Amino acid sequence: MHPPRRNRAIERAGFGDRLTDWLLTHCPFTALTLLTLLVVGYNLTVPRPVLILVPVVGADIVLNVVRRVRRVRKADVAPAIGPRAVA
């Protein structure tokens, strides 16, 4: 007996799900703005969508820098005694 073949439609859906999760995790403002432009863009004419996207991408960059700085500070200021330490 041969093993069952993987369904390529499921693989494509999985790729789309992973891409969406990554976009929402790493650049949420850009992902939501692009989605909004795709949905609303047909009914609303936006003459220069780049003027909308540039500040949003900048906001995502600032968000990621702040996240990274907070992560580094949290690692530097690790408590000497953890909450579950026995005295």
Render each residue's pLDDT in the chain as its tens digit; 87 residues.
Answer: 667 766 666 667 788 888 888 888 889 999 998 888 888 877 888 788 888 889 999 999 999 999 999 888 877 766 656 566 555
Identify whether 30 is part of a domain: yes
Tokens matching residue 39: 């949905």
Identify whether 83 is part of a domain: no
Identify whether 22 is part of a domain: yes
Identify whether 64 is part of a domain: yes
Q: How many domains does the chain have?
A: 1
Identify whether 48 is part of a domain: yes
Long-range contacts, 29-34 (Cβ 8 Å, 24+): 29/56, 29/57, 29/59, 29/60, 29/63, 30/56, 30/57, 30/60
CA–CA dist 66, 54 (Å, integer): 18
**Single-letter residue type at 30:** T
Structural domain that includes position 67: 8-76
Identify whether 13 is part of a domain: yes
